[in-house]
Structure 1
Amino acid sequence: MRYLESDMYGVISCCSLDLRRLGGDEVLFRQLCELTYAVQSRRGKLRVERWGHSWRNMYVNRPRMRVNGLYFQRVSYIKRPERNMWYDGEAGNILECIYYRYLRFFRTGEVLYGISLQPPKQAAVLLTDVSSADVHQDVSVGEFEVLPGRRVQVSVRTDHGRVVLDLDIDNGERGSFTRLKLNSHLQFPYSSNTGEARELPILANVFKYRRLPIRTKPKFGYGRHI
């Protein structure tokens, strides 16, 4: 239970008629619900009666964070270059700045938060486990909590202060709970005596999901059929 990804139970149930009943086994889904919602929700209460007394229905439809991949957003903005002695571009050029923001959730209730210039496939190695925050300076560790109303709150300890993200959980093109919408991005500086939050600008508000490991589609030559 603790080592097999939850998505794999659906794959296994399609392998044979003997394993088909695994896809609807209530005992299995009760264990999945206990492993997931007892940690991710604020009170840790399951309340299966709200889901028709079906553990499978609860696990499939109750909002949760996926822990077998990473959420990312691509942030881009336009700026004019600073024309100084190091600038060798032409006059009138504009620059497009691109970077990525990442969130990696774990079953323990911990989360990794990172900012990188590398796209998801290359940046995935920076977010392997919680100890990554000790190795990579652009990765920070924190906690997350799934709140009522399909919301999740992320609190991360960075070098300059505590960062709090408030996001909506939604379904995306890769399945249920594979899309996050950023509502607010706050920073509580360690140097502040009043403890007031500083609201950071939101340049991109959508996080997409990619399951790990990230693989690219094979490329075949012309005229080859599979």
Structure 2
Amino acid sequence: MTTVANNVHTDQISSIDHEAIALFEKAIEKEGQGLMSDAVENYRKAFKLNEKIDTLYRSIKVPFNIKKIVDERGKNVMTKVDDKAVAKINVDKLLASFANMEVQAGSLDIAFNNLSIQESQKPSPLTRLPTDIWLYILEILILTNSEAWFKMSITCKKFAYLGFGTSIWRTLSNNIYPFQIYEENLIYLANQTPSQSIDLPIPKDQLQILPQYQNSWKKMLHERPFIKFHGCYISIVNYYSEGGKSEFSLSWTNPVKTITYYRYIRFYPDGTMIKVLSILPPNQVVAWLSKDRKFIPHEEVHDKESHKIYSGTWKLNSAGEVHVQIDEGSTAYLTFHYYFQIKNLGHFKHNKLNWIKYFAVRKSTGEDDDRVGELMDYSIRNEKPFKFSKVRSYVV
């Protein structure tokens, strides 16, 4: 097989260049995983084999990868979208215009080798289902498989109207907010006696909160922060230290020391959470994040700090600030406190946790311990935000 790009064919490339391309690809993969030290090492090896490997890679691999994507996803996949024009679209008004649309049956088009068969397809009985049944199906999907709900909702105008309509946003809201652990409610409950009636500051009934968001379930979901449970939050931190430059050296040959570590947090609806601080990348950690485990399985010894799973509790206030507390952490005589602010990540709502502060409180180590309650503040200057990653295998 040959790939043509700027008159360069893969069968015209030497074995050394093939090796350089492989190293360059490996470096890109490592960089994407945050393993910058390994990435730099592979980049160096690739450039030593071919000082113009970046140009060669773009001329050979990029056109091939583009063609592969087009073949898999269609000719319009690389079409650039005018973001300004899209931003001007009134989505709610557009969806409302689909209200009277009906599911339409198309035509059957089957091709076997050189034989093409076209015939009318009889309407599916499903097209005659009443709206209530379709809404019920969409609600089941949104509670069991949100990806299937979204994919079904973009298949046609009728399903777009139903799938992104008011009742669906209400279902989502009622499936999210009652499971948030609100600090205001915890404080209120701690000060109540069993004989007093319970009227929580943040009600479980979302209808009581809806007026604060102009009676729009969609607006509530967009503006009211919440913690997500069907995945974990990951923070990747890289430290770089460049060594001294030797005389007449090229920039890519300078020694670079890179330290990469990851923070993982997984939240549960019962108010518990687990945390891991590790040098292990997500593909070796995420699948094992469970409060039933104490360690991340790894070929190295399990008493290593980077493999331990620590448990704690979490709570959220109405302003979107998250407080995580770990009593039994890496230091036995300290209770660790982490504070985060829930933020949007581009178009993804409530998908990021920004650091606010991080400190520890000293616990008692004996009767004569006069340092109980001492605060130890930790710097968050080098810490990076946590970004939510959905994990299909997680069951809540």
Normalising by structure 2, we get a TM-score of 0.44
Tell me if 1:97 matches 2:276. Answer: no
Match of 1:56 in 2: 218
The verdict on how the C-alpha distance between 1:7 and 1:57 changes in structure 2, with shifts beyond 3 A counting, is: farther
Query: CA-to-partner distance for each residue in 1:20-58, whole Å, 9 max, x for gaps?
Result: 4132242x4334323422232333424111011122321
Secondary structure (helix, strand or coil) at the match of 1:183 reads: strand
Match of 1:180 in 2: 353
- What is the letter of the counterpart of residue 210 of structure 2? V
* Structure with greater contact order relative to length (CA < 8 Å, sep ≥ 6): 1
Is the Cα–Cα contact under 8 Å of residues 77 and 96 in structure 1 kept in the other structure? yes
Tell me if 1:145 matches 2:315. Answer: yes
* CA–CA separation in structure 1 for the residues paired with 2:173 and 2:326: 25
Ranges in structure 1 where 5+ consecutive residues have no aligned partner:
81-92, 215-226
Give the strand-richer structure, 1 or 2: 1
Greater C-alpha radius of gyration:
2
Query: CA-to-partner distance for each residue in 1:108-131, whole Å, 9 max, x for gaps?
Result: 33222111111222221231x321
Identity %: 20
Segments of 4+ moved more than 6 angstroms = none
Tell me if 1:72 matches 2:213. Answer: no
The verdict on how the C-alpha distance between 1:174 and 1:139 changes in structure 2, with shifts beyond 3 A counting, is: farther
The verdict on how the C-alpha distance between 1:165 and 1:206 changes in structure 2, with shifts beyond 3 A counting, is: same
CA shift at 1:175, angstroms? 0.8
Ranges in structure 2 where 5+ consecutive residues have no aligned partner:
1-139, 186-201, 243-254, 297-306
Match of 1:204 in 2: 383
CA shift at 1:9, angstroms? 3.4
Is the Cα–Cα contact under 8 Å of residues 295 and 308 in structure 2 kept in the other structure? no
* CA–CA separation in structure 2 for the residues paired with 1:189 and 1:12: 53
CA shift at 1:96, angstroms? 2.7
Tell me if 1:194 matches 2:380. Answer: no
The verdict on how the C-alpha distance between 1:77 and 1:51 changes in structure 2, with shifts beyond 3 A counting, is: same
Match of 1:32 in 2: 172
Match of 1:220 in 2: none
The verdict on how the C-alpha distance between 1:34 and 1:3 changes in structure 2, with shifts beyond 3 A counting, is: closer
Tell me if 1:155 matches 2:155. Answer: no
CA shift at 1:8, angstroms? 4.9
Please give the root-mean-square deviation of Cα atoms over the aligned residues, in Å: 3.2
The verdict on how the C-alpha distance between 1:168 and 1:39 changes in structure 2, with shifts beyond 3 A counting, is: same
CA shift at 1:5, angstroms? 4.9
93, 96, 115: which one aligns with 2:277: 115
Give the helix-richer structure, 1 or 2: 2
CA shift at 1:101, angstroms? 0.7
The verdict on how the C-alpha distance between 1:117 and 1:174 changes in structure 2, with shifts beyond 3 A counting, is: farther
Secondary structure (helix, strand or coil) at the match of 2:285 reads: helix
